């Protein structure tokens, strides 16, 4: 009887150990799959085009900030054209993101949830600055200090959103 119990316990322990090893491998595989999904998404066409539009917004926001420095806006029509490009690029980014999200599986959306929440918070901040710029451009002679303030805040937010990408490109000795 003792011998049978010993054999049963040994077999049971072997089975449990095997199950544990398989579960650990599955967990590692899921983490690896998640990273591969993120890498695939970042190298995909949606991300690439969205980043191009984001760079466009950043470039025009810098131009607006710079042309309104010192509380003076030399050419309001040119500034309005730059702002129109910002709005158009943001609309294109929103459309691409909605299209991409609609094609994503529920499992992938769940995996992406934490990142998507952060992106939404960043987008709210960006959209607040764009609304403030829109308001500044409503009058015949826009308030240059308001344009500079909101364009600078927009530039700051967009650059902050780009930081993780820049850190990856830095040599290890420069990261801190």
Confidence of residue 135 (pLDDT cuts 50, 70, 90): very high
Per-residue pLDDT at 126: 92
Q: What percent of the chain has pLDDT over 70?
A: 68
Per-residue pLDDT at 82: 96
Considering only CA atoms, which of 157, 136, 150 is closest in space to residue 54? 157
The arrangement of secondary structure in 40-159, i.e. its CATH architecture, is Up-down Bundle (1.20)
Confidence of residue 172 (pLDDT cuts 50, 70, 90): very low
pLDDT digit string, tens, across residues 49-86: 988 999 999 999 999 999 999 889 989 999 999 999 99
Q: Whole-prediction pTM value? A: 0.68
**How many whole angstroms separate alpha carbon 156 and alpha carbon 5?**
69
- Where along the chain do its domains lie? 40-159
pLDDT score of 42 more than 80: no
Q: What is the mean pLDDT of residues 99-113?
A: 83
Is residue 67 within 8 Å of residue 75, measured between CB atoms? Answer: yes
Q: Cβ contacts of residue 169 below 8 Å, gap of 6+?
A: none
């Amino acid at each position: 009887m003792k011998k049978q119990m010993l054999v049963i316990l040994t077999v049971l322990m072997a089975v449990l150990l095997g199950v544990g090893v398989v579960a650990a491998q599955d967990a590692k595989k899921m983490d690896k799959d998640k990273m591969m999904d993120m890498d695939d998404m970042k190298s995909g066409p949606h991300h690439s085009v969205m980043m191009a539009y984001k760079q466009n917004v950043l470039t025009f926001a810098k131009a607006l900030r710079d042309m309104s420095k010192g509380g003076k806006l030399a050419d309001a029509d040119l500034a309005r054209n730059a702002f129109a490009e910002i709005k158009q690029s943001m609309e294109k980014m929103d459309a691409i993101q909605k299209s991409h999200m609609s094609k994503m599986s529920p499992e992938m959306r769940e995996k992406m949830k934490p990142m998507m929440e952060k992106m939404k918070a960043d987008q709210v901040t960006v959209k607040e600055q764009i609304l403030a710029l829109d308001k500044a451009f409503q009058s015949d002679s826009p308030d240059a200090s308001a344009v500079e303030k909101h364009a600078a805040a927009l530039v700051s937010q967009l650059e902050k959103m780009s930081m993780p990408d820049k850190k990856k490109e830095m040599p290890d000795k420069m990261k801190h």
